[in-house]
Amino acid sequence: MSTDSADGTIDLTISENLQSLLDSYRRMQMPMGQYVSFILVPSLAFFIVSVVVAVLFAFPMSVRAPIPLLGLLAFLTAVFYPKILISQRKRQLNNRFHLLVTHMTVLATTKIDRMEVFRTLANEDEYGELSNEMHRVVQLVDTWNQSLDDALRRRAKEVPSDTVADFFERLAYTLGAGQSLREYLISEQEQIINNYKTVYESSLDNLEVMKDLYLSMILSMTFALVFSVVLPVLTGTDPTLTVSAVILLFIFVQTGFFLAIRSMAPYDPTWYHPDEKPSGVEGPIRRSFYVGVGLTGVLIFISIGGLLGVTPIALGDIIPLFGSSLPLPLYAAIPVTPLIIPGIVLRSAEKRVKARDEEFPSFIRALGTTETVKQSTTSRVLESLRDKDFGPLSENVDDLYKRLNMRIEPVEAWRFFTADCRSYLIQVFSEMYLMGREMGGSPEVLGELIAENMDEVNQLRQQRNQATTTLVGLLYGISAASTFAFFIGLEIVNILSDMSLDLDTGAGFDAAQLINTEVYNIPLIEFLLISVILFSSMLSALMIRTVDGGHKINTYMHFVVLVWVSSLTAIVTKWLVNGFLSI
C-alpha cells in the first residue's frame, strides 16, 4: 500500500513538472509552434546526428564519448530553455517589486489620476520587467478600452511571479469595489514589506543550505585530488593526467556552485553608478585600480621572465628573504598582491556608502516633517537641517542645500546629491520623494513612507552582512584546509621519490615494482596545484562579492588574501612534512 502511495506521489510530481514545462512554453514571447519548429526540432536532429557519428565513425573512445553528450546537452538546453527563461523573468519581477510598490504608493498620495500612476511607472526603466508589466496594463486600458481592474486581472493570469499576480488580483478587486488606489496601497504597505522580508530571508536561508553543500562537495573533491596525487605511486599511471582530470572536475564543481549562489542571492545592490555625473569618490578608486593592476602586470612579467630567464632580474632578487630558492607558491602570491590596493580603497568608500544608507531614513523623515510643519521650501528647510549630524551624509546634505540655494534646478540638485552619495537605495528613494513633491504630495507622508521602507531594507541588509561574514570564514577555512591536504600528498610523494634512489637492497629486489616514482613530474604537479589555488581563490572572492552585493573591485581584496592564505599554508605544510619525515 505504501508502495502504491509512493508511486502515485512520483506520478503526480512528474505530471506537475510536465505541466509547469508546458506552461513555460505557453508564456514565451515566441509562439509555441514556431519555437518547436525552429529550435526544438533542429536540436533533436543534432542529437540524433551526434549519436550516429559516434556509432559509425572509428574515433578513439575518448573522442567518441563526448560527441553524443554534446548533442544531448544541446537538446536538453532547447527543451528546458523556456523554463529557464520564465524563472529568470520571475526573479526579475520579485527583485524590485517592493521598490515599485513603494513608488506606486508615493505617486498615489499625490494629486494625479490613478492611470497616470501606471503610466509614470511604465516609463521608469529602473524597474525592468515590472515596468514592462505596467506598460502592458496601460496598453490594455488605453488601446483595448478595458477597465483598469479587468486589465489587472488579465495580467495576473500571465505573470510568472505569484507575488505580483496576487498583488494584481487584490488590487483589481479593491478598485472594482470602489476603494481608492491611495487607501489600498497605504493599508497594504505592511503586508508588502512583510512579503518582501519573507522572500529576502528565504534567499538567505537558501544560501545557508548552499554553503553546507559547498563544504561537502569541496571536501570530497579535495580528497579526490589528493588521491589522484598519491595513488599513481602504487599504480604506475601517469599522475599528470589524473591530476589534470580531477582539477577540471574541481573547477567545474566550483563554477557550478558559484552560478547557483549567484542565482539565489537576493538582488540588493549597494552602489549607484551614474555615467553622466562623476563623483569625488571615483577618482581615488580609479587611480588605485590603475596602480594595483599596473604593479601586478609588472610583477607578473618579472616573475615569468625570471623563471624563463628572459628578464635581467627575477622575483627572488626583489624578495631577498629566500634568496634564489623562492618557494613556488610565492610566485603566485607576490604578483597579485598589489591588487589589494584598490580593494582597500574601495572597501573604505563602501563603508561610507553603507553609513549614508543608515542615516538617510532619519534625514528624509526630518525633511518631510519639517517641510510640512513650516510650510516652506526644501531649500529653507535644509538651511536648518544642514547643521544637524547625519554622519557621513551631513556633507552631502550641505552640498544639496548649497546647490538649491544657488537656484540650480531641484531635479538636477537632487541628482547631484544622489550621484555624490553613490548609494543605490538613496538614489531610488530620493527620486521617489522628489517626484512625489513635484506632483503635490504631502512631504510628511512621503518622508515617513520612504523612511519606514528604507529602515526595513537596512535591517535585512544587516542579516545579509551576517551571512556574508559566515561565508567569508567558511571560504577562508576551506582554502587553508584544501591547500594543506594538497601539499601533504605532494610532499609525501616527493619524499618517496627521493627515498627510492636508495632502496636497492642488492638481493634481487627491485623497489620500483612497489613504488613508481619515476612517473612523477613534481614541479609540474605543484604548478597545477597552485593553478587550482588561484582559480579557487578567484571564485571564492566572487562568491563573497555576490552574497555581499558590493562593488566588483571589492573582489580583489578577498582574492589577494585568499591567495596568500593558501600560499603560506602550502609553504608551511611542505616545511612541516619535511621536518617530521626527516627526523
Q: Do residues 541 and 340 touch, judged by C-beta distance below 8 A? A: no
For 175-220, write each residue's pLDDT tens digit: 988 888 888 888 888 888 888 888 899 889 999 999 989 999 999 8
On whether residue 104 sits in a domain, the answer given is yes
Give the model's confidence band at 326: pLDDT under 50 very low, under 70 low, under 90 confident, else very high.
confident
Q: Which of 27-36, 196-205, 344-353, 387-396 has the lowest mean pLDDT?
A: 27-36
Let me know whether 84 and 109 are in one domain.
no
For 469-500, write each residue's pLDDT tens digit: 999 999 999 999 999 999 998 888 888 776 65
- Single out the residue of 218, 234, 132, 306 nearest to residue 514, CA to CA: 234
- DSSP classification of residue 500: G
- DSSP classification of residue 267: -
Let me know whether 58 and 103 are in one domain.
no
Let me know whether 139 and 62 are in one domain.
no
Q: Phi and psi of 271, rounded to 5°? A: -95, 155
The predicted model gives 84-108 an average pLDDT of 88
Q: Is the pLDDT of residue 72 over 50?
A: yes
Let me know whether 67 and 157 are in one domain.
no
Q: Do residues 565 and 281 touch, judged by C-beta distance below 8 A? A: no
Specify the pLDDT at position 133.
93
Q: Is the pLDDT of residue 501 over 70?
A: no
Give the SS3 label for residue 571.
Answer: helix
Cα separation, 328 vs 324, whole angstroms: 11
Specify the pLDDT at position 1.
45
Q: Which of 238-252, 257-271, 443-457, 515-529 has the lowest mean pLDDT?
A: 515-529
Let me know whether 367 and 415 are in one domain.
yes
Task: Write out the DSSP string of 183-225.
Answer: HHHHHHHHHHHHHHHHHHHHHHHHHHHHHHHHHHHHHHHHHHH
For 541-569, write each residue's pLDDT tens digit: 999 999 998 889 989 999 999 999 999 99
Q: Do residues 21 and 83 touch, judged by C-beta distance below 8 A? A: yes
Specify the pLDDT at position 291.
95
Q: Is the pLDDT of residue 513 over 60?
A: no
Specify the pLDDT at position 423.
93
Cα separation, 109 vs 119, whole angstroms: 15
On whether residue 28 sits in a domain, the answer given is yes
Let me know whether 76 and 115 are in one domain.
no
The predicted model gives 153-162 an average pLDDT of 90
Q: Which of 133-137, 194-198, 397-401, 462-466 has the lowest mean pLDDT?
A: 194-198
The predicted model gives 509-525 an average pLDDT of 68
- DSSP classification of residue 58: -
Q: Is the pLDDT of residue 337 over 90?
A: yes
On whether residue 555 sits in a domain, the answer given is no
Last residue of a domain, one of 458, 489, 517: 458
Cα separation, 342 vs 347, whole angstroms: 8
Let me know whether 86 and 9 are in one domain.
yes
On whether residue 175 sits in a domain, the answer given is yes
On whether residue 271 sits in a domain, the answer given is no
Q: Is the pLDDT of residue 4 over 60?
A: no
Specify the pLDDT at position 545.
93
Let me know whether 395 and 448 are in one domain.
yes
Last residue of a domain, one of 60, 94, 128: 94
Specify the pLDDT at position 583.
53
Share of the chain above pLDDT 70, in %: 89
Last residue of a domain, one of 128, 160, 179: 179
For helices 181-230 and 522-548, what crossing angle results, to 10°?
170
Let me know whether 31 and 116 are in one domain.
no
- DSSP classification of residue 423: B
Q: What is the mean pLDDT of the chain?
A: 85
For 246-273, write each residue's pLDDT tens digit: 888 888 889 989 988 988 888 889 999 8
Q: Is the pLDDT of residue 111 over 50?
A: yes
Let me know whether 361 and 450 are in one domain.
yes
Q: Do residues 449 and 99 touch, judged by C-beta distance below 8 A? A: no
Q: Do residues 257 and 536 touch, judged by C-beta distance below 8 A? A: no
Helices vs. strands in the chain: H and E counts, helices first: 24, 0
Number of domains making up the chain? 3
Let me know whether 60 and 117 are in one domain.
no
Share of the chain above pLDDT 90, in %: 41
Specify the pLDDT at position 504.
52
On whether residue 365 sits in a domain, the answer given is yes
For 287-316, write each residue's pLDDT tens digit: 999 999 999 998 888 887 766 665 555 565
Give the model's confidence band at 376: pLDDT under 50 very low, under 70 low, under 90 confident, else very high.
confident
Give the model's confidence band at 35: pLDDT under 50 very low, under 70 low, under 90 confident, else very high.
confident
On whether residue 85 sits in a domain, the answer given is yes
Q: Which residues on adjacent β-strands are paired with residue 271?
A: 423
Of 418 and 278, the structure prediction assigns the larger pLDDT to 418
Domain that holds residue 84: 2-94
Cα separation, 421 vs 411, whole angstroms: 15
Give the model's confidence band at 375: pLDDT under 50 very low, under 70 low, under 90 confident, else very high.
confident
For 408-438, write each residue's pLDDT tens digit: 788 899 999 999 999 999 999 999 999 998 8
On whether residue 352 sits in a domain, the answer given is no
Q: Is the pLDDT of residue 509 over 80?
A: no
Q: Which of 138-147, 160-169, 371-380, 568-577 has the lowest mean pLDDT?
A: 371-380
Task: Give the global pTM.
Answer: 0.85
Let me know whether 451 and 381 are in one domain.
yes
Specify the pLDDT at position 148.
92
